[in-house]
A and B are shown apart, each in its own frame.
Chain A
């Protein structure tokens, strides 16, 4: 299979996020970046497909802070080729980035080889103007389905599992080439020791491709801010002993114990 994985780093939400002085963006000073959860799963799903059915995994990402480590990690996990799109990419949102990725993919073959599968996160935590997958598929003229949690090759296409709600899922079949929005891989993303990542940094190189984004973001944020503190929980403070005593009392008062 001709597998492509599109990756993106997002701010790590475990860290404190604060709004920059312009009131419209995040303060970059304290941000730490990591691959999104669904990005990790998209990569894992591609590696699983390669292991089971053969083929080649190409990872491609738009240049961003702290991206290189994630890309070398992809090499260490088993990616065959890693490319980075570089240029003036600040503020490039889903639609504009889909155009860049579509151009990159078309350079690999136009039309795309019949066994091509593009795996991308189903959604990122900052996709304010929508997910990239459907945009990209539309530009490539191939089918797209998102919230995918299982992929099995079947004839000239794939059979995929998509999640709905309440545990209900659906099975769909679609021809390749196709773009899939991955929610979860069939297995948890594999772990690679940091030594293997360092080895990949020495032995492999990141291919770079210069790009020029065309479309500006279509959605202009007027204001970015933190949720108001009003309506927040009554915080219980003290040692674990004291907190536990207070919680037991509160639960007992509500006849919960």
Chain B
């Protein structure tokens, strides 16, 4: 019976990305419960060399694709479709990541499979998988049941622990040939991260600002607080998109993943794209005027106030305390 689970491994520059292990840990649990085989697909030029830590899988399929170092989403989808047909898998897990974006949608259309994105939690109910997804910036959850056991699940980064999916056991690796057309998209080159004046991944204390800071001028309030705390300022996507802060200070899906001792989130709603970059900070303090903001679900301490009212007072008190 076609019931296997196929995970799309994510890799760049020969390194397996954490999302792969996160999906492997979650996928292993599902596979055991469903009594189904767990497969991993590594797709791209030189795929055979990228199998490190994939030992939780019952089999790893490597598929070499012609051309570009980073294959187009449509190419990856075509390979997955070929693998599904060859290996009789029923469920596909792909990362909800910038790299895999587009793969689930194209595969869904071509293979006529339902695609459930933004997956945050998975459970088996009556022999079928139910996916809990985060919608509307994390403010609402939805449950979708893949009733006939077939489908594609987009898994959020950070939803499952990577350590639970990493295994030094040598997996069974099989090189599989899947014929795909050469895509019209050409990968040209990597653009390395712009070196900023401060490496926010190395700071003990980060003061992060979001839309709630309202104007570029107000960022100085956060800078003063960061200075008083001996840390640095960073921001969420809207603040960087406004040009108020360089990309080197962006935290989240496209930006940096940070784990400071203290993360002070000022006027940040806590959309999943941001949370995946800061949820492992040691102590998170969030200030937001919206009492329902999802940031309060990850923060240890919360304050429902306007940052513009609180921050100047807090800065003065910290300075006074430090003397």
State which residues 178-228 of A face B: CB under 8 Å.
Answer: 181, 183-184, 187-188, 218-227
* Beta-carbon contact of A220 and B144 below 8 Å: yes
CB-CB under 8 A from A41, the residues of chain B are 241
CB-CB under 8 A from A247, the residues of chain B are 285, 301, 303, 314
In this assembly, does A116 line the interface, its C-beta being within 8 Å of a C-beta of chain B? no
CB-CB under 8 A from B143, the residues of chain A are 221-225
CB-CB under 8 A from B109, the residues of chain A are 95, 134-135, 138-139
State which residues 219-248 of A face B: CB under 8 Å.
Answer: 219-227, 231-237, 240-241, 243-245, 247-248
State which residues 107-147 of B face A: CB under 8 Å.
Answer: 108-110, 114-118, 130, 133, 135-145
CB-CB under 8 A from A11, the residues of chain B are 136
In this assembly, does B173 line the interface, its C-beta being within 8 Å of a C-beta of chain A? no
Interface residues of B (CB under 8 A from A): 12, 17, 70, 72-74, 77, 97-99, 101-102, 104-106, 108-110, 114-118, 130, 133, 135-145, 154, 183-194, 205, 229, 237-238, 241-243, 247-248, 250, 253-257, 261-262, 269, 271, 283-286, 290, 292, 294, 296-297, 299-305, 309-310, 313-314, 316-318, 321-322
**Chain A binding site: helix, strand, loop or mixed by DSSP?**
mixed
In this assembly, does A90 line the interface, its C-beta being within 8 Å of a C-beta of chain B? no
A-B contacts, 27 listed (Cβ < 8 Å): A13-B269, A19-B140, A95-B108, A125-B135, A125-B137, A129-B117, A134-B73, A134-B74, A135-B109, A143-B183, A144-B106, A159-B188, A165-B17, A165-B254, A167-B256, A169-B191, A172-B187, A181-B101, A218-B114, A219-B114, A233-B299, A235-B303, A235-B304, A247-B301, A247-B303, A248-B321, A250-B301
In this assembly, does A251 line the interface, its C-beta being within 8 Å of a C-beta of chain B? yes
State which residues 27-65 of A face B: CB under 8 Å.
Answer: 37, 41
* Beta-carbon contact of B115 and A130 below 8 Å: yes
| Complex: A132 Cα to B12 Cα, angstroms | 25
CB-CB under 8 A from B184, the residues of chain A are 143, 174-175
* Beta-carbon contact of B102 and A144 below 8 Å: yes
* Beta-carbon contact of A143 and B102 below 8 Å: no
**Minimum CB–CB distance for B241 against chain A, Å:** 5
Q: Given contact pairs A168-B12, A222-B145, enumerate 6 new A-B contacts (beta carbons under 8 Å).
A: A132-B105, A218-B115, A240-B305, A244-B313, A244-B314, A250-B301
